[in-house]
Structure 1
Amino acid sequence: MSHVPETVTRHSLFEDAQALLVAPMFVAFVVLLFQQAGLLTGGTVGLAFLVHYLTGWSMGWVVFGLKLPFYVFAWRAMGGVFTAKTFISVALLSGYTALLPQVIAIQSVDRLFAAVMGGFLIGVGLLMIIRHKASLGGLGVMALYLQNTRGWRAGKVQMALDVAILGASLFIRDPLSVGLSVVGALALNLVLAVNHKQGRYLGT
């Protein structure tokens, strides 16, 4: 059986730019969708939802603020280029989160559909970002770092963190909302666990 050698192809500047521009918009749209449906998600955005529901503060600013401490970890663990790309992604996510409610009004949405579709869209957004050597900051940096250094699946690490965050949300949200949010988290992490396996994607 012949073996075709695989070569590593670097992403161009344009390819990196489109990923950093598009992926945060997917996630920001889900933030809007989940706000309408009264749902949450995991990761640092999930923590931002908790703060938002408790205080009423703007999601865009809360997301940006909660992710700030993780830049030091990102710099030490993943390097300057990764950290710079991540900062740009998070800044765009915060901006999109503030902008989208001004241009989109979601009048009605089935909550189960919102949970599943939202989870899929966040998963796709994170997958795009990860494949371009960046992240959306926060706990995602930790999950990616552990995959690169320990071989732990990013999807499984993220899922464990998400479960903890969603469990904490039981103190401020009703069980049905939390249950649907768990469905969304499972959909998200299914996308990552299936599509992001170390060594299978050679673009850099």
Structure 2
Amino acid sequence: MAEDGARHALKIPPGFWETTATRHTPLEDVQGIATGIAVAALGVAMLGHLGFLTGGTAGLAFIVTYATGWNFGLVFFFVNLPFFALAIGRMGRAFTIKTILAIAAMSVLTGLQPHVLQFGPVDPLYGAVLAGMLLGLGLLALFRHRASLGGVGILALFVQDRFGWRAGLMQLAFDLTILALSFAVVAPRAVIYSVASAIVLNLLLAVNHRRDRYVAM
């Protein structure tokens, strides 16, 4: 009774903090999104350390960063700005708000990371595969809490929801196109490792991100 009275006083809808088979609580969203951002940021740090890239808007941000020396976090945030209109128009206000917050947090974290995390020598193939797995796991956590890291991820989720096509396979096609542009800023060997990383990332999403297996929102 006391709990119901407090909920009424705060105007919180019934079940707001209760998990169901189809809905996460706000606390679960915060935990899941924060974990996804942290894991994805670690993958970005690994790629940056090795001089590799990835696909999506993060790949575009890497290309601009390698070409100009600008801060990756700032470039990543601004590259994503044009996609916010698609997110709010097609994916809903809650998805858009969570995605904007995730992108902002990712930008800040990748900016701070060089001051708190440093790598020694890393085998390039191992690093590429590990970075792809980390980015894939981070995006999977975000997708399952109805958020993304913007850009191509938003478009891939929209296409999956609208047409039923796998988000991971859609993003792989976009990523390979973006990676083809990277020959202008990095050596061909780095591009090959970057492609391997992107394949690992998107296969992980294609296998694990399915609406018929995970329906919570």
Deviation at 1:115, TM superposition (A): 0.5
For 1:16, the equivalent position in structure 2 comes to: 29
TM-score where L is the length of structure 1: 0.94
In 2, Cα distance between equivalents of 1:173 and 1:79: 37
Residue 188, structure 1, aligned to residue 201, structure 2: yes
Q: What residue identity is the alignment partner of 1:152?
A: W
Equivalences, count: 198
For 1:60, the equivalent position in structure 2 comes to: 73
**Gapped regions of structure 2 (runs ≥ 5):** 1-19
Show CA shifts across 1:58-113 (max 9, x none). 00100011011111110000010100000110011001101111101112211111
Deviation at 1:181, TM superposition (A): 0.4
In 2, Cα distance between equivalents of 1:96 and 1:59: 10
For 2:181, the equivalent position in structure 1 comes to: 168
Deviation at 1:44, TM superposition (A): 0.3
In 1, Cα distance between equivalents of 2:164 and 2:42: 31
Higher radius of gyration, 1 or 2: 2
In 2, Cα distance between equivalents of 1:32 and 1:125: 13
In 2, Cα distance between equivalents of 1:144 and 1:21: 20
Runs of 4+ deviating beyond 2 Å: none
Percent of aligned positions that are identical: 46
Show CA shifts across 1:143-171 (max 9, x none). 00000001111011100001001111112
For 1:140, the equivalent position in structure 2 comes to: 153
Q: What residue identity is the alignment partner of 2:208?
A: N
For 2:172, the equivalent position in structure 1 comes to: 159
- Could you tell me whether the CA contact under 8 Å between 2:125 and 2:193 is conserved in 1? yes
**Gapped regions of structure 1 (runs ≥ 5):** 1-6
- Could you tell me whether the CA contact under 8 Å between 2:55 and 2:176 is conserved in 1? yes
In 2, Cα distance between equivalents of 1:200 and 1:165: 30
Deviation at 1:197, TM superposition (A): 1.6
For 1:4, the equivalent position in structure 2 comes to: none
Quote the RMSD (CA, aligned, Å).
Answer: 1.0
Deviation at 1:122, TM superposition (A): 0.5
